[in-house]
Amino acid sequence: MKIRYIAVSYVVLLLGIMAVIYMVCKEENQASLDMVYYNGQLKQIEAGLSETVEKEDLERRFACKILYFADKDYETRLNEALRSQAVILDLKSREEIVGKVVWSDGEKLYEALKHDLMIKLEIVCGVILFAGIVFCFIFYAHFIAPFKRLQRFSGEIAKGNFDMPLPMNKNNFFGAFTESFDLLREELKRAKESEYQANRSKKELMAELSHDVKTPLSTIKATCEVLLLKEKNADTIEKINIIAAKAEVMDALVENLFQAAMEELEVLKVEPSEESSLQIKEILDELKFYGNIQIKGEIPECLVYMDKLRLSQVLDNVVSNSNKYAGTAIDVSFVEEREGILIRLRDYGQGISEEELSCVTEKYYRGSNTKGKTGSGLGLYLADMFMERMHGGMECSNICNQEETGFRVTLFLKKV
């Protein structure tokens, strides 16, 4: 279809050029016809002179000047006529040239013909130039531009941008070629999304499993510590130490696995739902293996937005950190507010410096009091993220007064 349009355009263009050339040739033919006209007038003048018509009468009648060789000013007037580019024809009498007949309007005719010819030539050049521009535009639009679009498209694909479609025109010479590239883009996009989903599922599974394994390991280590305090038999103590040592090794391995899986923590799902606040008591009871948790007061009974699994991980992280770094009893208290309930967990250790307090929930951050202690710096970061995704929040603060010191973590659960 496009080839047909181009062919028709060029036929019209050629017809236009031929019409202009015809006009120029016609003008030249007109000039030839004008010379025939002057020759006709010359014959009438010669006939009039042969019939003894006055010279002056003939000059007025034919708007010309009659110059005889015998005139005194013949040379002067002839030179003037030549300079003025007048039409000059030989005057004959009985087949002998006796002078010249001069028409002064020949200069104007010549200039008019010259002017018209220049206009026609300019038109021809303009038409040819326009035709060249049209051809360049058509060639660029239908041949060069598609390849430039393919070049930009390939660059975006190389950058990993598979959402940039490749525009197609059904009448384009490269329509099928372009369509193949766009199909390639869609296939690459589907393959990338499939790969992303597969990697996401793997990371989520590794993160959840590695974190869940840490809880029973903590229970094993805590139980070993209790048994070591109570057991007197040397052989049993040795076996308990072996169990504790292996649990430490497993804990370190799981910690490495957990840290590797947490490179993209956003894959962890948090799905809050309407739950009874009394379930918090069940979660805290599961942490009793730490042996030093004291629940003070009653839990306000209401419906809150909560993901029980994630809240269990949050409380486990907070209690585990307090047990590891403070080694004191942990008090848990509750405050009911109009928007939700507050869960306050505090220990009686030395807390952390005020400079480090704002950094404890950052990813991989570990304070100056963590030297010699295992950990990845992800516990409080995860806890803060989980609470935020449950429409709640978390705040850490030091307790410093004359009577006591400690570190407090306040969790907020939003009411339904």
Q: Which residue bears the tokens 């070591």? A: 228
d(CA 101, CA 89): 5
Structure confidence at residue 333 (pLDDT): 93
Cβ atoms of 189 and 162 within 8 Å: the answer is yes
Closest by CA to 122, choosing from 43, 20, 196, 219, is 20
- Would the pLDDT of 29 be above 50? no
Best mean pLDDT range from 76-90, 158-172, 256-270: 76-90
Would you call 6 helix, strand, or coil by DSSP?
helix
Structure confidence at residue 31 (pLDDT): 46
Structure confidence at residue 224 (pLDDT): 84
Give 269-414's CATH code, choosing from 3.30.70.2740, 3.40.50.300, 3.40.50.720, 3.30.565.10: 3.30.565.10
Q: Count Cα neighbours of 71 within 13 Å in the Cβ-side half-sphere.
A: 14
- Would the pLDDT of 13 be above 70? no
- Taking only the tens place, the pLDDT of each residue in 112-145 is 666 777 887 788 788 788 877 887 777 777 667 7
Ranges of each domain in the chain: 2-132, 191-268, 269-414
Structure confidence at residue 293 (pLDDT): 85
Out of 16-30, 180-194, 285-299, 336-350, pick the least confident. Answer: 16-30
- Taking only the tens place, the pLDDT of each residue in 98-108 is 898 888 765 55
- Taking only the tens place, the pLDDT of each residue in 352-370 is 888 888 888 887 777 777 7
Structure confidence at residue 34 (pLDDT): 66
For domain 191-268, give the CATH number. Answer: 1.10.287
Q: What DSSP line would sit under 204-261, residue for residue?
A: HHHHHHHHHHHHHHHHHHHHHHHHHHH---HHHHHHHHHHHHHHHHHHHHHHHHHHHH
pTM: 0.45
